[in-house]
Every structure is written in C-alpha cells, then in structure tokens.
C-alpha cells in the first residue's frame, strides 16, 4: 500500500515535533486505512478512502469521539449522533461530494455483510466529502457501493500512500495537485508516551495565500492556476491512543484550523472544513454496557496533544501536495504538481532551509 514518494521532511522541511514510525494516522495502534482509486479515460479522477478506528477485528467496538465544523459548506454524515452520544460507532469513509451518500450506505452494507454489530439495531455511519469536479466527472457518479466496500476490505495498518489516491484522487490545494495527507506525533504526558495521528482529504485554498514554514511561497509561484480563486474544502480525522473524554476530543478537533492557518488559508465561505477526533483508549469501557469505568487525562495535561494536532495538520496538508504529480482530468483541465525545486528555492531565499 505504501508509496515511496518523497515527503516534506526528506526535502529538508524542519517540521516541529517527533513523528511516529510511519508519520501517519496508522501510528495509532489499531487504526487501519484502505483506498480505492478510480482513474479511467479522460474524465474519471476520483475514489474512496476508508478508516477503521480499531481495525476490522474490533470494528464493533466504539470509540470516544468529538467533532468540530470550522466552516460548514460541506458534509460529514453521522455527526449528530456523535454529538449526542460522544461515541464513534462505525468506520469512516471519505469521497467526493456526489458520492458521500453512496459510501455511507455501503458502510452499512459492509457491516451487515460481515456481521459486525454497531452497538445498536441501526447504524449511522460517518461519511465525508470534498469536491473533485474540476478534474473528475463528478456527476457521472462513478464511485459505487462495491468500491466503498473494497476500500473497507483493503484497510491495513502501516505506511500510507499519500497524494492522488482514494477519495483524494481528484483534489486540489492552493491550486496545486493535492489529495490525501497524513502525519503523526509522539507526545509524552507525565512520563507516558501517546500517539496522535491525523488524516486529511485536502482540497482548499487560494494560490496567493499558500505558506510554507512562514514563507509566502504561493506569491512566488503564480503560473498555471486552474481554479484561480479560493475554493474547496478539507476533511480531517484525528486519532489518538491517549485516554480522552468526548468533550476533550472536540477540543482537539477545534485545533485543526490553527494548523491549517500555518499553510495560509482564511477558511473561505465556499469551504467545508469539518473535523472528527476519536480515541482508541478505554476499549474495555466501550466493549460492554451498564456501568463503565474509564481513564482520562486531566484538561490541564493535554496541551501537548493540542500542539500535536496543529503540527501534524500543517505537515499532512503540505505532504498531500508534495507527494503528488501533475494531473490532467475532465475537459482537459490540468492541475499542476507543486514545483518542489521552485518551492525550495523560495525557502532558501527566506533562509528557511540550508543551502
């Protein structure tokens, strides 16, 4: 599943914080990610990504969860029940805007097919979207239930392929080709180490706002803009093994915009910026009913996790562009890859990387 494309750290970008082994959401033990990528003919550039919070073997065990919408011009189905119950009870799928309902329903079919209980006699799967219609024939409805179930079946731990894969296949960020991004951080709290990972389907931003390590890179690379305006959305999924309550996970989700701001965005009216955080801790509590006992961190102890969210968000967004290639799609539209040589030249000019 892993692709050997170069990432920002390998280019010499000095991201803050210590990543896990894979520098991905899968550094949180148990989290599995699967993708199906659809690239056909001249105009199909789409797909679906599936995230299993506890992996297939424990897909029936809920997780504590919380969400936050920074700007609501988008969709993440299933959040009403998470807001009410404080639990994520299903896998997560992410795809294009026109296929969000398809992957939501397919998740239910997959749960029934595999005899996986959701903790109740009905299910409200989480399904999210961003718009890929600049490169993809979005109204052709090419993502099917079979594709979504295949992504769920394909889900694995380990290193992730980033860029134009899965639901991120047709996505664009700061008018450069983008898509799936992921990063992780290791956080020590009171002598105990925890992992936090983030996954983004990145599809937002205006070229002139694009910022790398505090440098206005976008203003120096203005050629070949496809959108030429602020457009799109971003979905972010945060996973951690730190024991947190639902309201604390909502607080983590609220920190995603701080990481996005480091890359330059203002959070435009047209953007659907919706975020979900879950914890894989306290499995014993969610595996049974009745009276539950659970560990959780004090609010005063979670600043390190806040910092991890901000740092990992920034890195994941940038890697969604760095791990990418130019794509030609619908109507001959071209989304260029971020010119890495030009970016690095600009960063050297501003003394952000060594010669």
In tens digits, the chain (355 residues) has pLDDT values of 445 689 999 999 999 999 999 999 999 999 999 999 999 999 999 999 999 999 999 999 999 999 999 999 999 999 999 999 999 999 999 999 999 999 999 999 999 999 887 555 678 999 999 999 999 999 999 999 999 999 999 999 999 999 999 999 999 999 999 999 999 999 999 999 999 999 999 999 999 999 999 999 999 999 999 999 888 899 999 999 999 999 999 999 999 999 999 999 999 999 999 999 999 999 999 877 788 899 999 999 999 999 999 999 999 999 999 999 999 999 999 999 999 999 999 999 999 987 6
Q: CA-to-CA distance for 194 and 184, rounded, in angstroms? A: 11
Secondary structure of residue 299 in the 3-state scheme? helix
Would you state the pLDDT for residue 288?
A: 72
Phi, psi of 347, rounded to the nearest 5 degrees: -65, -35
Strand pairing of 233-240 and 272-279? Answer: parallel
How many residues can be counted in the chain? 355
**Other residues' Cβ atoms within 10 Å of the Cβ of residue 139:** 9
Q: CA-to-CA distance for 112 and 107, rounded, in angstroms? A: 9
Longest dimension (CA), the chain: 62
In the set 164, 195, 233, 279, the catalytic residue is: 233
Would you state the pLDDT for residue 126?
A: 98
In the set 175, 241, 273, 319, the catalytic residue is: 273
Torsion on CA atoms 10, 14, 15, 20, rounded to nearest 10: 50
Question: 42 burial class (0-12, 13-18, 19+ CB within 10 angstroms)?
Answer: exposed
Would you state the pLDDT for residue 245?
A: 97
Supply 311's token pair: 């740092």
In the set 99, 184, 271, 335, the catalytic residue is: 271
Q: Is 233 a catalytic residue?
A: yes
User: What structural domains does the chain harbor?
Assistant: 8-349 (3.60.70.12)
Enter the pTM of the model: 0.97
Supply 345's token pair: 């030249």
Would you state the pLDDT for residue 117?
A: 77
Q: Is 42 a catalytic residue?
A: no
DSSP state of 2: -
The answer to whether 255 and 215 have CB atoms below 8 angstroms apart is no
DSSP state of 355: -
Would you state the pLDDT for residue 193?
A: 97
Q: Which residue has tokens 């959070």?
A: 267
Q: Is 224 a catalytic residue?
A: no
Would you state the pLDDT for residue 251?
A: 98
Supply 90's token pair: 């299903």
Which secondary-structure segment (H or E) carries 124?
Answer: none
Q: Where are the beta strands (DSSP E) in 309-355?
A: 327-328, 334-335
Nearest Cα residue to 303 out of 244, 227, 252? 252
Nearest Cα residue to 64 out of 84, 87, 90? 87
Would you state the pLDDT for residue 1?
A: 43
């Amino acid at each position: 599943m892993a692709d050997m494309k170069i990432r920002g750290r390998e280019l010499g970008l000095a991201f803050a914080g210590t990543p896990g082994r894979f520098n991905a959401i899968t550094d949180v033990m148990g989290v599995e990610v699967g993708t199906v990528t659809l690239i056909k003919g001249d105009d199909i550039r789409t797909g679906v990504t599936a995230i299993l919070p506890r992996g297939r073997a424990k897909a029936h065990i809920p997780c504590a969860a919380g969400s936050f919408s920074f700007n609501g011009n988008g969709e993440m189905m299933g959040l009403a029940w998470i807001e009410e119950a404080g639990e994520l009870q299903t896998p997560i799928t992410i795809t294009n805007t026109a296929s969000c309902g398809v992957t939501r329903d397919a998740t239910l079919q997959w749960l029934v097919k595999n005899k996986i209980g959701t903790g109740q006699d009905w299910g409200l799967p989480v399904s999210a979207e961003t718009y890929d219609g600049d490169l993809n024939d979005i109204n052709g409805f090419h993502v099917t239930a079979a594709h979504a179930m295949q992504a769920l079946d394909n889900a694995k731990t380990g290193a992730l392929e980033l860029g134009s894969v899965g639901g991120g296949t047709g996505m664009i960020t700061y008018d450069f080709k983008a898509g799936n991004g992921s990063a992780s951080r290791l956080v020590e709290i009171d002598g105990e180490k925890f992992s936090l990972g983030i996954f983004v389907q990145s599809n937002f931003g205006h070229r002139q706002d694009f910022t790398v390590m505090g440098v206005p890179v976008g203003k120096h690379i203005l050629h070949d803009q496809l959108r030429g305006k602020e457009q799109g959305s971003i979905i972010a999924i945060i996973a951690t093994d730190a024991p947190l309550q639902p309201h604390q996970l909502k607080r983590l989700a609220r920190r995603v915009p701080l990481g996005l701001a480091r890359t330059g965005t203002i959070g435009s009216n047209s953007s659907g910026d919706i975020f979900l955080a879950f914890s894989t801790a306290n499995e014993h509590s969610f595996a049974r009913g009745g009276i539950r006992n659970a560990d959780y961190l004090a609010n005063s102890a979670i600043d390190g996790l806040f910092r991890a969210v901000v740092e990992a968000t920034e890195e994941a967004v940038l890697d969604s562009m760095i791990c990418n290639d130019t794509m030609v799609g619908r109507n001959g539209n071209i989304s260029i890859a971020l010119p890495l040589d030009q970016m690095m030249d600009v960063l050297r000019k501003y003394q952000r990387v060594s010669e």
